[in-house]
Structure 1
Amino acid sequence: MLKDSTMWYASWFDTPYYHILYKDRGHEEAQQFMDNLSNYLNLEPGEKLLDLACGKGRHSIYLNQLGYDVTGVDLSKNSIKYASKFENETLRFRVHDMSKPYHEKFSGVFNLFTSFGYFEKEECNLNTIKAIKSNLNETGFGVIDFMNVEYVIDHLVPEETKEVSGITFHIKRYVEKGYIHKEIRFEDNNEDYFFTEKVKAITLEDFKAYFSEAKADLIDIFGNYQLQKFHKTNSSRLILIFK
C-alpha cells in the first residue's frame, strides 16, 4: 500500500500503525515536561489550555489531571475518536486544522512533540503561528516544542529496524531540500506498507522570522524538557515561549 507524500500526516497519523510504532514514547518524560511547563507559566487551576495537534491526547489528559480546562484538537479523526473516550466536563477533543484559529481564547496554546512543519505550503507554518497568537487571551502564552534541527541532523541514524507488537518496521532517514525525511516500510497480514514523514528543518532563526511576521514576541527559549538553556549544537529540543 503506497501512500502519496502530499499531506502525508493526514494518512499516516490516521493509521493504527503510527501508534504502534510510537507506542513506547516516554510518557513519564512527557508528564514531567508538562509539570515543568505549567509551573514555569504559573498557570492556575481551571485555566483554559489548547493542545494543538494533540494526537490521542496524552498531554491533554495529563494536563486535565493537573486541574486545567483542556481542549485537544487534531486533524486525525481516528485519534480524536480515541481521545474522546476520556472526555469530561473540563476535557474535550475536536477535529481541527491547526493552521486556522480556533473559536476560543486560552491561557496557553501548546504545540508539542514536533507537531509543526508538516505542511506542503510554507504559508501554513506562518498561519499556524498567527492562529496560536490569535487564540491567546491577554495573559496567555504560546508554546512550540520542536526538534533542534542542527542536533537532529548531526545525530541522524540513516537506517534502523524496529520490531514492535510483532511488526518489523524498516526505517530510513535523510535530509533533502530543507526537509528531514523518514521512510517507513513494513509488512502486516501479507500486505506491504510504505509511509513517509517529512518535517521542515526549521531553525531558531526561521522561527524568529515567523514570529516577526506574525507580530508575536519571543519570550524564552529552552533546550530540553527540564527547561534548561538552549544550546545550538547540544540541545535535543527547541522549546519556544511566545505571546
Structure 2
Amino acid sequence: MNEWYETSFGEDYLIVYRHRDFCGASHEVEKMISWLELPPGAGVLDLCCGMGRHSLALSKAGYEVTGVDLSEVLLREARSQKGAERVTWLRSDMRELPLAGGFDAVVNLFTSFGYFEEDEEQIKVLREIFRMLKPGGKFIIDFLNPAYVIRHLVPHSTRIDGDILIDESRSIEDGYVKKDIVLTSKGDDTPRKYHERVKLYPLDTFKQLLAAAGLQLEAVHGSYDEEEYDEEHSKRMIFVGIRP
C-alpha cells in the first residue's frame, strides 16, 4: 500500500492548490535571502520543491538552484515554467538524496516536513539537510505552527473550481493534522479521494529533532513578515540555522 505522500501530489493536487501563486514566492524569497545572507551565485537546494515557485524565484535572483521532489507530476509542472531551464530538477525521496552536497543553503518550504510516522524518519530528512550543506551552510525549514493550527482549524469546507467540487475535511488526531480531500467532477459520479497527514511538532520538540541531526538553530520566525515567532499568534514556525 502506498504512503499518502506517494499518491496525493498528482494531477488533482494542481487543482486543489491552484491558488498558490508565483508572485508570493518572490516576496518570500527576498526575505529568505536576507535571513540566509546568501552571496551572489550561491548554490541552493530547494528540498520538496513542488511546482518550483521558490526554485524559480531563487534562480531569477541569481542563485544556482537544484529543485528536488518526489512527485513527477509537480516536477513536470515546474519544468514547464518560464526560466525552468536554469534550474536542475531531480526526482528523489527527501530521506535519501542522490547528491554529493556542498550547497551554501538548503530550503524546505510550506510544511514539506513531518510526513512520516516515526521521528527517526523525520531525523533522516534533517540529516540529509546536514549532509547537503557545506560547513557553515545555512538552512530554512518553513513549518506550520501547531498551536495556531489547532486553534484555527476549519473542520470542513467546500468550493467549486470549474466543473469540480472540492470537499475538504480537517481534523487533529493522534498528534497529526489530517486532511481528507474529495474531488467530484460534474457528470462523473466517481469521487477522487486523497489524504494528507502532517505530524504536529511543537517548538521544543522540533529543536530536539534539529539537534539530533547536528543542525544548529539560529532564529525562528512567525511568518515572512514577522521577525519573531509567537506561539499564540504566529501562523508558521520558520526555522533558520546553520551546519556548524
TM-score range for the pair, normalised by the shorter chain length: over 0.9
Following superposition, the deviation at residue 227 of structure 1 comes to 4.1
What secondary structure, in the 3-state scheme, does the structure 2 residue paired with 1:100 have?
A: coil
What one-letter code is carried by the residue in structure 2 that aligns with 1:33?
E
Compute the TM-score of the two structures, normalised by the length of structure 1.
0.92
What secondary structure, in the 3-state scheme, does the structure 2 residue paired with 1:191 have?
A: coil
What secondary structure, in the 3-state scheme, does the structure 1 residue paired with 2:218 have?
A: strand
What one-letter code is carried by the residue in structure 1 that aligns with 2:92?
H
User: Which of 27, 45, 50 in structure 2 is aligned with 1:50?
Assistant: 45
The RMSD of aligned alpha carbons is 1.5
Residues 147, 237 of structure 1: 8 Å contact kept: yes
What secondary structure, in the 3-state scheme, does the structure 2 residue paired with 1:219 have?
A: strand
What secondary structure, in the 3-state scheme, does the structure 2 residue paired with 1:207 have?
A: helix
Matched with 1:165 is: 162
Counterpart Cα distance in 2 of 1:85 and 1:117: 28
What one-letter code is carried by the residue in structure 1 that aligns with 2:45?
L
Matched with 1:108 is: 105
Q: Which consecutive residues of structure 1, in runs of 5 or more, have no partner in the other structure?
A: none
Matched with 1:230 is: 229
Following superposition, the deviation at residue 213 of structure 1 comes to 1.2
- 1:140-179 equivalences under 5 Å are 140-179=137-176
Asked whether 1:123 is paired with 2:120, we answer: yes
User: Which of 73, 90, 104 in structure 1 is aligned with 2:68?
Assistant: 73
In percent, how many aligned pairs have the same letter? 35
What one-letter code is carried by the residue in structure 2 that aligns with 1:240?
F
Matched with 1:37 is: 32
Matched with 2:182 is: 185
Following superposition, the deviation at residue 11 of structure 1 comes to 0.5
Matched with 1:133 is: 130
Matched with 2:57 is: 62
Matched with 2:4 is: 8
What secondary structure, in the 3-state scheme, does the structure 1 residue paired with 2:201 have?
A: coil
Residues 25, 57 of structure 2: 8 Å contact kept: no
Matched with 1:23 is: 18
What one-letter code is carried by the residue in structure 1 that aligns with 2:208?
A
Matched with 1:204 is: 203
Q: Which consecutive residues of structure 2, in runs of 5 or more, have no partner in the other structure?
A: none
What secondary structure, in the 3-state scheme, does the structure 2 residue paired with 1:234 have?
A: coil
Compute the TM-score of the two structures, normalised by the length of structure 2.
0.92
Following superposition, the deviation at residue 122 of structure 1 comes to 2.7
Counterpart Cα distance in 2 of 1:30 and 1:204: 25
Following superposition, the deviation at residue 77 of structure 1 comes to 1.4
Counterpart Cα distance in 2 of 1:70 and 1:55: 14
Following superposition, the deviation at residue 139 of structure 1 comes to 2.7
Following superposition, the deviation at residue 210 of structure 1 comes to 0.5
Matched with 2:91 is: 95
What secondary structure, in the 3-state scheme, does the structure 2 residue paired with 1:225 have?
A: coil
What one-letter code is carried by the residue in structure 2 that aligns with 1:53?
C
What one-letter code is carried by the residue in structure 1 that aligns with 2:50?
G
